[in-house]
Structure 1
């Protein structure tokens, strides 16, 4: 019996020792169980970009093609649909616009290209050119059939407009290159509308006019015909484009608010695109805002007005070449000297 008890006691001790030597099972985590705080991807710092501040611009332009590209912009501005505000002044004579620029009374002006160069010099570079807005628009009209070529002008009296501006210098250059200097009598009228009325009434038989006055006269007198396209005649004697109108801006206005000025350029470019694509609406705006007296005239004239908005290096290339031709023919026509590179805004 004692042997049995001793055996049982021995077995119990062995079992206890076995239990003490067994390590408990450990459950390994299947992943990192540490919870990191959530990181927001949202930028909670306030924006440091300043808000765009619109500007108020005074704009002077000539009636006719020089101003026709602005028709849509004028309408949008009148309806409060532009970020900037614009105050427009229209004139029939370049001298009126010239005076307002020399006196620093306007921020922006649409003028003949030779006048832009003159004003750059007279204002000591205070105004720079930012865009070409009009190419060739000049024609010679005749009540009759005697003028079939430029040579046929010899010995005749030709009425014209644009004394002291691009039309005069284009005409003089064409006459000179065709050996007609001093052989054609040129009588200048101040207003395009005045000369168009004289053609329409039959009091003048031969005249040089720009669009839309060409269309206006022909609509009133069916005996008138397009005798010569002076853009084509220019191309026969020069390798440059007949650039007629441009946009100049006061440098101080650009520097005061570059963002607002950039908005102006975008507004003008959009206006030119609109008037070329939506002639009927643009013509109505021309009548409403006094750019052209009658919408019917503007609608027929628009396709022949060569309205563009050319900026930067392309602007400089065409404009500097044209001014170079004018300078060679008559330095006084562009103010006595070619403008410096800073005249051509954004052409770097």
Structure 2
């Protein structure tokens, strides 16, 4: 005996299109099942038409918009409450914290990348590949902290008489000539150093070869100078090429760096959540609970940064400080509401965790900067 559907259906979900087995996972179905209880696929045997496709697309968009508005409302107006709801199982009405944070970070850094005219920085690029040593009297007088200008001028005259700049330049040219004449010998000379020191020394040698001997492909270097075709040499060569490119096109490098910043967030937030867990280890929260709390607060920070960015560009003002102050107050309220601790304990943990957050953010950006310059 057939069971009548529990809800009114239309389109490809009409009763006449229902099947008795899921087309995706073959799970047995009843005619009243609008969706498969095993894999959640729609129970419909009707071929997907163009109208059906767009109907489902827009219904999913509206469903996401509804979740988005509720998430934004809860996040902005009820600090800490949205995390408590989410970990207690009230998740259908809210967007996924990870996806929400990733979307916001991409939007923010995309705005930064599109609006910033980083090509202007290219005019400061080092296109020669050589360091110019030049002592300008006015510059040195400006930087020296002598009481009397006569003393500064006397000091400069002494430097000039020694011809120190010319001497250093000549010594550098001699060293470069030796490297260019016998690169294999120079590479072998640094082989006894530690890995990091060895890597940078080899990178300097390869940089010189690329800039002065028009070597663009590592295989050409191996063939011309009989250099060992090792992974370490290839890494150093790639690093040298990337560094030269970053020096010659700094604007493009900064744009590339900004595009990767959203993923830096997801490097240090899981680490940061460990410190939050340690601070509240006596509370009955899991590591994941603390991570979700961190995702929600970081999402709020990106929302405020986006609003601040739009206000600054529309009205031509600097509102960043105000919004950071708002976030600071919000974070304190979120910690109080979520962890339910007294003011003194919350303030102490608030200060400690913010310090850790700043340190981790700096480390994350430093790692990104270092890896990007060698992979650009």
Provide the TM-score with structure 1 as the length reference: 0.21
Instruction: Name the structure where strand makes up a greater proportion of residues.
Output: 1
Please give the TM-score of this superposition, normalised by the length of structure 2. Answer: 0.19
- Pick 1 or 2: higher relative contact order, CA cutoff 8 A, min separation 6: 1
Rg larger in 1 or in 2? Answer: 1
